[in-house]
Amino acid sequence: MLRLLTAGESHGPALIAILEGLPAGLEITQADIDKELQRRRRGHGRGARMAIESDRVRIVSGVRHGKTLGSPVTLMIENRDHQNWLGIMDPELPGEGKEIRRPRPGHADLAGGMKYNHRDFRNVLERSSARETAARVSAGAICRKFLGMFGIRIYSQVVSIGEVVSPTRGQKLTPELHRRADASPVRCPDEQASARMVEAVDRAGKEGESLGGSFEVAADNVPPGLGSYVQFDRRLDSRLAAALMGVPAIKAVEIGEGIEAAAQPGSFVHDQIRYSAADGIFREQNTAGGIEGGVSNGEQVVMRAYMKPIPTLYRPLTSVDIESWQEEKADIERSDTCAVPAASVVGEAVISLVLANELLIKLGGDSVDEVIGNYRNYEGYLKKVWKWKRTLY
C-alpha cells in the first residue's frame, strides 16, 4: 500500500523522499515534519555536520492547503554543507580532493567499491552514509501523524551506550518515559544513567574512539490483526525487524524479550490469556512484545535494536591503500562519536512507516474518512465477537 523511495548523497544538493499510497485528506504541515527532523539532529556525541545542517523540509508535491491529495508526497531536505563540496560533488565536471582510497573497516567502503567497481570510495560512502536517514525521518513523520489519528503512539528510549545500561531497560514505555528521554542529551530517561552515558561518550571522543549502544521502540494501542502468518514475508515482526536492520549500523534486533526468552522455559515466557467482565480479554505480561505468529495481538508492540560503534575513528584502524596495495591507516571522514540517540529517533520513523502500511493493508481506503469508517467497523467487530474492551479509535 505504502511505497517509500529516497534519493540523494550525503554532500549532494538535497535529500529526497517520495511516499506513495497515503490516503487523501490527512492533515500535514511542514512543522509536523521539521519537529521530527530536529529530534534526529540532537544527541550528545554528534559531529560538526549537525551544526551546519538546519534540516528543514520542503513539501514539493502531494499536499495542498495542508492536506494530502492521495498522489505521491515528495519531500526535499536541502544539504547546506553542499556549498562546501560543489566541485567535489559536481555531477558532470571532475573535481579533485576528498578521494577515499583507504577503506574504513566496518563501513560499506570496500564491499561497495568491489560491488560497483568504484576506485574512489567516496562514491560509496556518499549514499551509504546515515545522512540518508533524514529522508526516512521526514516520511516517517507523516506516517506518525496518520497513526496518531487512530490513537497509535510511538515511543523510544536509549537503554545503553557502551557499557552503561539504564535501569529503565525493559520498563513499559509510556508518554512520561518518552518525554524524559527527549529531555536527556542521550535520550535516556534515567538521570544517573544519562550522566554516565555522557561521560562515556566524552571519554571515547578524547580517545579517538566511537561508541554504540541499544535503544527500545514501542507502539501503543496497535490493534490486533496487523501482519499475517500465511507467508513469511507478511509477518509483522519480520517487517519491523527488517525496517530496524535497515538503519545504518544496526546489527541486531529483538522483539519483546526475544533474547532472554531463549534461555527460559515456556511456562515463564508465554503470555497467559486472561478474561474478566470488566477488562475483556487481556494479558498480564508482554514477553512476546505484542506479536504472536507474526500478527499483532493488541498489546504494546516492543522492539529493541543494537547499534555498533560508528566505523570512522579519529585513531583509524589498519586498512590498505588500493593504489599502492600497502597497509596504511584508514581514511578519516568527519563523523560522530556516538549516534545512538539519533538512531532511536530514526527507529521511531521506520516503525511508523511499517505500522502505517500494515494498517492500510488491513483496512484499505483511499481517503482518511474511508479509512476511519473501516477502522470503526473493525473495532465494532472486535468488541462484539472477541469481547475486546479497549477503545481503538
Range in 59-63, 83-87, 184-188, 325-329 with the lowest mean pLDDT: 83-87
Please, what is the angle between helix 340-363 and helix 30-41, to 10°?
A: 140
CA distances from 207 to 165, 184, 211, 317, 323 (A): 21, 24, 11, 13, 30
CATH assignment at residue 47: 3.60.150.10
Ramachandran class of 325: left when φ > 0, alpha when ψ lies in -120 to 50, beta otherwise: left
Q: In terms of Cα–Cα distance, which of 304, 273, 275 is closest to 286?
A: 273
Which range of residues forms the domain containing residue 20? 3-386
Of the listed ranges 51-60, 157-166, 314-323, 373-382, the least confidently predicted one is: 51-60
- Is-contact 110 121, C-beta < 8 A? yes
Site of grid cell 522483539: 255
Angle of CA points 128, 132, 134, to nearest 5°: 155
CA neighbor of 68 nearest in space, from 34, 28, 19: 28
Closest CA to 89 of 76, 75, 99: 99
Is residue 125 included in any domain, yes or no? yes
Average pLDDT, the chain: 94
Q: What band does 333 get if pLDDT is binned at 50, 70 and 90?
A: confident
Nine cell digits for residue 323: 593504489
- CB-CB contact of 243 with 354 (8 Å): yes
Mean pLDDT computed over 167-171: 95
Instruction: Give how many domains the chain has, as a whole number.
Output: 1
Q: List pLDDT tens digits, range 247-263.
A: 999 999 999 999 999 99
Round to whole Å and give the CA distance between 376 and 219. 20
- Give dist(CA 320, CA 326) in Å, integer: 6
Is 393 part of a structural domain of the chain?
A: no
Q: In the prediction, which pLDDT does 334 show?
A: 76
Summarised one tens digit per residue, pLDDT across range 306-326 is 999 999 888 999 999 999 999
Burial of 116 (0-12, 13-18, 19+ CB in 10 A): exposed
SS3 readout for the chain: CCEEEEECCCCCCEEEEEEECCCECCECCHHHHHHHHHHHHCCCCCCCHHHHCCCCEEEEECEECCEECCCCEEEEEECHHHHHHCCCCCCCCCCCCCCCCCCCCCCCHHHHHHHHCCCCCHHHHHHHCHHHHHHHHHHHHHHHHHHHCCCCEEEEEEEEECCEECCCCCCCCCHHHHHHHHHCCCCCCCHHHHHHHHHHHHHHHHCCCCCCEEEEEEEECCCCCCCCCCCHHHCHHHHHHHHHHCCCCEEEEEECCHHHHCCCCHHHHCCCEEEECCCEEEECCCCCCCEECCEECCCCEEEEEEECCCCCCCCCCEEEECCCCEEEECCCCCCCCCCHHHHHHHHHHHHHHHHHHHHHHHHCCCEHHHHHHHHHHHHHHHHHHHCECCCCC
Q: Report yes or no on 211 lying in a domain.
A: yes
At position 87, the amino acid (one-letter code) is G
Q: Give residue for cell 555536520.
A: 49
C-beta of residue 357 within 8 angstroms of C-beta of residue 2: yes
pLDDT higher than 70, residue 393: no
Residue 267 lies in a domain: yes
Residue that the C-alpha cell 566511537 belongs to: 210
Contact call for residues 194 and 184 (beta carbons, < 8 A)? yes
392 in any annotated domain: no
Q: Give the pLDDT confidence score for residue 392 in this predicted structure.
A: 59
Q: Could you report the per-residue pLDDT of 94-148, keeping only the tens digit for each?
A: 866 678 999 999 999 999 999 999 999 999 999 999 999 999 999 999 999 999 9
**107: number of CA atoms within 13 Å, CB side?**
30
Residue 94 lies in a domain: yes
pLDDT at 53: 78
Query: Is residue 106 assigned to a domain?
Result: yes
177 phi/psi in degrees, rounded to 5: -65, -40
